[in-house]
């Protein structure tokens, strides 16, 4: 689940920016993806009159998220695309510790990333479809002053549970020089950087999106999202002396900026 203010992957926001200045509050959305046998996907962009923000609350049309200092609760009420099937229910996230470090992703500091709760647990109860589960979770935030495609060529990101915490890898390709971040977060709080193995190539997706990860003996066990510019995968790899199962994403900003891809996105990201 991703909540967007100024949806970075919105074709409508991209078209508005090309015409001049664009108000991010006119391009808000809640992206919800379910995988497995009950596969559903929603990302409806909302206009400002149904959006409301405060330090502890974010309303996006019929859905909302609230942070009370001790955790996050999300009330989800979305309609899927391209099949209009409802996704409705509640998500509760309980952080083991809250991190405050905000990291710049580019040399000028125009893009920042903060893992708020790198170690957390989640409880999900859905009415539509009728599903519930609990398990480990992760919660972060990104903010930027410019479009992603203006400052990045592509990136690979992954997060994996490890004994006592979470490992996060960020491998960014930028016009001004590449950057690799590797961090081990302790479930009780605190973080330390580590030197990861060199990146290894993973098989390209059906859309020929490149994938790689800074880990050893890595293999893709499942491709969850396969689009012309983005892939979300499950990867089995060797990291920090053990085997890990990582949630992995690959993003090609060159592909995303392609006008043909922008036009295709409107079919999966309606605007109401």
The 3-class SS string of 16-77 reads HHHHCCCCHHHCEEEEEEECCCCCEEEEEEECHHHEEEECCEEEECCEEEEECCCCEEEEEE
Structure tokens at 92: 């509760």
Query: What's the pLDDT score for residue 104?
Result: 96
For 39-84, how does the pLDDT look when each residue is reduced to its tens digit (9 = 90+)? 999 999 999 999 999 999 999 999 999 998 789 999 999 999 988 9
Q: Which residues of the chain have pLDDT under 50?
A: none
Query: What's the pLDDT score for residue 82?
Result: 86
Query: What's the pLDDT score for residue 225?
Result: 96
Whether pTM exceeds 0.85: yes
Query: What's the pLDDT score for residue 122?
Result: 98
All residues at 6 or more sequence positions from 77 whose CB lies less than 8 Å from its CB, including other chains: 61, 62, 63, 86, 87, 88
CA dihedral 77, 143, 172, 150 (to 10 degrees): 100
Query: What's the pLDDT score for residue 243?
Result: 97
Query: What's the pLDDT score for residue 70?
Result: 84
């Amino acid at each position: 689940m991703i909540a967007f203010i100024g949806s970075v992957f919105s074709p409508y926001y991209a078209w508005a920016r090309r015409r001049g200045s664009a108000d991010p509050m006119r391009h808000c959305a809640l992206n919800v993806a379910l995988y497995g046998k009950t596969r559903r996907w929603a990302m409806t962009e909302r206009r400002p009159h149904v959006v409301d923000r405060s330090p502890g609350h974010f309303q996006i049309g019929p859905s909302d998220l609230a942070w009370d200092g001790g955790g996050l609760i999300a009330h989800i009420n979305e309609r899927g695309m391209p099949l209009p099937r409802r996704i409705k229910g509640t998500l509760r996230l309980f952080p083991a510790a809250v991190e405050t470090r905000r990291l710049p992703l580019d040399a000028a500091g125009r893009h920042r990333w903060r893992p708020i709760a790198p170690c957390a647990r989640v409880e999900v109860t859905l009415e539509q479809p009728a599903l519930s589960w609990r398990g480990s979770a992760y919660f972060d935030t990104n903010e930027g002053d410019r479009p992603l495609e203006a400052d990045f060529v592509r990136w690979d990101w992954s997060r994996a549970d490890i004994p006592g915490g979470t490992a996060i890898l960020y491998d960014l390709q930028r016009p001004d020089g590449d950057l690799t971040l590797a961090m081990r977060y302790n479930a009780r709080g605190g973080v330390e950087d580590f030197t990861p193995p060199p990146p290894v190539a993973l098989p390209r997706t059906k859309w020929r999106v490149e994938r790689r990860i800074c880990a050893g003996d890595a293999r893709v066990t499942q491709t969850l999202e396969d689009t012309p510019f983005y892939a979300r995968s499950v990867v089995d790899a060797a990291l920090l002396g053990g085997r890990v199962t990582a949630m992995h994403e690959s993003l090609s900003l060159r592909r995303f900026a392609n006008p043909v891809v922008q036009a295709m996105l409107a079919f999966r990201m309606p605007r109401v």
